[in-house]
Amino acid sequence: MSGAAQESVIELRGIRTQFGTTVVHDGLDLDVYRGEVLGVVGGSGTGKSVLLRTICGLLRPAEGSVEVLGTDMLRADEATRSQIEARWGVMFQDGALFSSLTVRENVEVPLRAVAGLDPGIRRALADLKISMAGLPARAGDNYPSELSGGMRKRAGLARALARDPEIVFLDEPTAGLDPIGATAFDELIRGLSRSMGLTVFLVTHDLDTLHACCDRIAVLAERRVLVTGTMAEMLDVDHPWVNEYFHGPRARAASAAVPPGLETG
Amino acid sequence: MQNIPRSSARIEVDLTGPTVLATLGGSLGVESVSGLHAQLTALPDDRPLKLDLTQVTHLDTAGAWSLCILRRRNETAGQSVELTGLDPHAMDVLATVTASLPELKASDQRPLTLADRLESLGRAVSGGAVYVVELTAYLGLFMAGLVRGVTNPRSFRLTALVHHCHEVGVKAVPIVAIMAFLIGVVLAFQGSAQLRQFGAEIFVVDLIAVSILRELGILLTAIIVAGRTASAFTAAIGSMKMREEIDAMRTLGIDPAAALIVPRVLALLLMLPILGLIANVAGLIGGALMSWVELGISPATFRLRLVENVAVTHLVVGMVKAPVFALIIGLIGCHAGMKVESNAESLGRMTSSAVVAAIFAVIVADAMFSVFFAQVGL
């Protein structure tokens, strides 16, 4: 991701979000560049998920502008917005699969919006996405309640990828997974983002995920994006929270696990 | 050159040489994949195939899938497939899709046979039998818990009992009273319209009293309580089950049956007769009021007729059913709650099925009571 002429796919300017009198974001700016994996970190209650929901249009900020793929999402009309929405996919924390549908039917839901798509091909494409998300083929016939937490996350990812999005939003993709499952998920995200040219917006608490997948990291604190940069740059930031986060015992363990070639700090 | 409708994908096929040459162009995406797939499937698989993809502007996983399927088909038939001219990004997409292309599997869906239908019928019947057995087991749990509470009063949860009596009984009084009052009004109104034809208006008192005291008062109370309490029991116990609170109780040495089922069912057992009595009174008041307005039967006459002509056995026959209905409603509600699995969908399903089962069982029990009392001549 060496950055000559980086194209911004998401551009947030002066975002202010508040619930009642509680201000979550104030004057928040953030850019996400095409093809990168951006990890968003921050303490509990700093509004990481709120930020994700703001970009996805689930929450409307009180002030500021949200520009996705060159379109001002807050001022665009319904038709333009839904066109842009078809170009991203969202994976929620526990998959947010529709419980009355099988996994395959869940993945087919976004494909149903494609006019003139043959049902047999739709099924086959859904099976392909299920397989790409690393699920066994028979998982397609299962209902979400029959799957483990890790499999539900993968099914959620398969649904998010169903229409070949340009941007994928992932909310805590590795939360609640065992270390092996989490590592596998990190590799999956990394691999898909590289091979499909996906831009990934990733909210996480997991330092291993930051090390393993993310090109850039954005730290949310003091109601705005405090700092963005690579993992190496994070280590030099002089802010108490950032310092503690990236130099704590868990951070040291996570950075020790990274192959030497990537270790810069 | 053929243009595929509804798509921006183009395909030109040259079938003249020993190798089939196909030139694809445009956007091979999910919007055009139906047409593209049909075109690619139409290509012959008895000769080597060469696909020139230089003019392809965009390739997504759907287009790549179609190419992979074609390649797999022709390679299975023993012919080579060569793809040329893809840019590196499209090559990556194609490689990813190739790597994760699911194995072909025969569709395991087959039409339902008679044997399948018989099997599902058998399962439903045996499921019904198991359900009855399980309910009996819950009755046993309740009895055992009750006996333990009597022999060891310190373990008895009086606070919970009082709380549930308030929830199940006191809070249900307004709706039960209004419902019974209106039933009394309806009976008086309909009864008077019929009885007036024979000049036998005064018998409306017997009609109202017998039907309310014997049947309607307690039956409709039980149905309302089934709707509001069985669902509440299922939802409360079920959400505890979902959040593993029941398991936590077991690990802490608390008996869930004693802590959850006994106070609830006992509260219902104590409260339903009282609610039934309230319903009877409200129904009679409603009937008396309507008889006064419609037929001019004064409340004093109504009372006199009621006391002289309506035997107390009608009240007894009605009230005897109350504890049975209470047990049915309470046990079905608690049982359904304990059957909730760890997902929200099953909570909703069990709650509604508890209400349906409780109302149905109450009506079945009422019918059996009617037959029984008719046989013994009460």
**CATH for A244:** 3.40.50.300
Tell whether A2 is covered by a domain: no
Q: What is the pLDDT of residues A7-19, one digit of tens each?
A: 889 999 998 988 8
Tell whether A264 is covered by a domain: no
Q: What is the largest CA-CA distance in chain A?
A: 56
Between helices A249-256 and A240-247, what is the axis angle to 10°? 50
Contact residues, chain B, for A124 at CB < 8 Å: 65, 69
> Where is the domain boundary, A161, A184, A201?
A161
Region A58-82: mean pLDDT is 88
> Where is the domain boundary, B65, B100, B135?
B100
- Cβ distance B31 to A116 less than 8 Å, yes or no, reads yes
Percent of chain A with pLDDT over 90: 13
> Where is the domain boundary, A141, A161, A181?
A161
- Greater model confidence, B122 or A208: B122
Q: Give every CB contact of residue A24 below 8 A, 6+ residues apart in sequence.
A: A17, A18, A46, A47, A50, A223
pLDDT at A263: 43
User: Phi then psi for B53, rounded to 5 degrees?
Assistant: -110, 20
Question: Do A102 and A229 reside in the same domain of the chain?
Answer: no
Residue carrying structure tokens 């070639």: A261
Contact residues, chain B, for A163 at CB < 8 Å: 30
- Number of structural domains in chain B: 2
Query: Does residue A261 have a pLDDT over 60?
Result: no
Question: Do A194 and A246 reside in the same domain of the chain?
Answer: yes
Question: Could you tell me the two tokens for A152?
Answer: 């539900």
On whether any CB of chain B is under 8 Å from the CB of A121, the answer is yes
Question: Do B162 and B23 reside in the same domain of the chain?
Answer: no
Question: Do B60 and B157 reside in the same domain of the chain?
Answer: no
- Cα three-residue angle B40-B43-B45, rounded to 5 degrees: 120
> Could you tell me which of B281, B374, B369, B283 has the C-alpha nearest to residue B318?
B369
> Could you tell me which of B2, B1, B4 has the C-alpha nearest to residue B28?
B4
The domain in which residue A142 lies consists of 97-161
Query: Does residue A119 have a pLDDT over 80?
Result: yes
Q: Decide if B212 contacts B284 (C-beta within 8 A).
A: yes
- A40 three-state secondary structure: strand
Query: What confidence tier does A236 reach under pLDDT thresholds 50, 70, 90?
Result: confident
Task: List, edge to edge, every strand of the sheet that includes B49-59.
Answer: B2-3, B9-14, B20-28, B49-59, B81-84
The domain in which residue B9 lies consists of 2-100
Question: Measured between alpha carbons, how far apart are the two ends of chain A, in Å?
Answer: 18
Element (H, E) at B172: none
Contact residues, chain A, for B60 at CB < 8 Å: 164
> Smallest CA–CA separation between A107 and chain B, in Å?
14
> Could you tell me which of B321, B319, B322, B309 has the C-alpha nearest to residue B372?
B321
Query: Does residue A202 have a pLDDT over 50?
Result: yes
Q: What is the pLDDT of residues A158-193, one digit of tens each?
A: 999 888 888 999 998 888 788 888 888 888 888 888
Tell whether B127 is covered by a domain: no
On whether any CB of chain B is under 8 Å from the CB of A196, the answer is yes
Question: Do A156 and A170 reside in the same domain of the chain?
Answer: no
> Where is the domain boundary, A161, A190, A206?
A161
pLDDT at A57: 86
Tell whether B21 is covered by a domain: yes
Tell whether A151 is covered by a domain: yes
pLDDT at B106: 57
**Beta-carbon count within 10 A of B336 CB:** 27
- Cβ distance B343 to A99 less than 8 Å, yes or no, reads yes
- Greater model confidence, B207 or A45: B207
pLDDT at B136: 94
pLDDT at B200: 86
- Cβ distance A131 to B6 less than 8 Å, yes or no, reads no
Question: Do A191 and A74 reside in the same domain of the chain?
Answer: yes
On whether any CB of chain B is under 8 Å from the CB of A7, the answer is no
Q: Which residue of A has its CA nearest to B90?
A: A196
Residue numbers of chain B with a pLDDT score lower than 50: 1-7
Query: Does residue A100 have a pLDDT over 50?
Result: yes
CA distance A193 to A169: 12
* pTM of the model as a whole: 0.70
Tell whether A202 is covered by a domain: yes
- Cβ distance B6 to A116 less than 8 Å, yes or no, reads yes
- Cβ distance B30 to A195 less than 8 Å, yes or no, reads no
Q: Which residue of A has its CA nearest to B61?
A: A164
Contact residues, chain A, for B69 at CB < 8 Å: 124
- Cβ distance B96 to A116 less than 8 Å, yes or no, reads no
Detail the DSSP E strand segments found in chain A. Answer: 8-19, 22-33, 37-42, 63-68, 71-72, 88-91, 167-171, 199-203, 216-221, 224-229
Query: What confidence tier does A259 reach under pLDDT thresholds 50, 70, 90?
Result: low
> Where is the domain boundary, B40, B72, B100?
B100
On whether any CB of chain B is under 8 Å from the CB of A189, the answer is no
Q: Is B106 exposed, middle or buried (0-12, 13-18, 19+ CB in 10 A)?
A: exposed
Contact residues, chain B, for A121 at CB < 8 Å: 33-34, 37, 62
Question: Do B92 and B158 reside in the same domain of the chain?
Answer: no
pLDDT at B45: 80
Task: List, edge to edge, every strand of the sheet that includes A88-91.
Answer: A88-91, A167-171, A199-203, A37-42, A216-221, A224-229
AA letter at A77: D
Question: Do B96 and B149 reside in the same domain of the chain?
Answer: no
Cα-only R_g, chain B: 36
> Could you tell me which of A205, A198, A92, A202 has the C-alpha nearest to residue A144?
A92
Q: From residue A107, give the alpha-carbon distance in Å to each of A52, A146, B12, B35, B303.
A: 21, 16, 33, 21, 70
Question: Do B201 and B325 reside in the same domain of the chain?
Answer: yes
Interface probe for A, chosen from B8, B28, B33, B37 (most Cβ of A below 10 Å), is B33
Query: What confidence tier does A4 reach under pLDDT thresholds 50, 70, 90?
Result: very low
Query: Does residue A80 have a pLDDT over 50?
Result: yes
Question: Do B149 and B71 reside in the same domain of the chain?
Answer: no
On whether any CB of chain B is under 8 Å from the CB of A111, the answer is yes
User: Phi then psi for B105, rounded to 5 degrees?
Assistant: -135, 145
Question: Do A62 and A169 reside in the same domain of the chain?
Answer: yes
> Smallest CA–CA separation between B68 and chain A, in Å?
11
Interface probe for B, chosen from A164, A189, A192, A194 (most Cβ of B below 10 Å), is A164
Residues β-bridged to residue A22:
A19
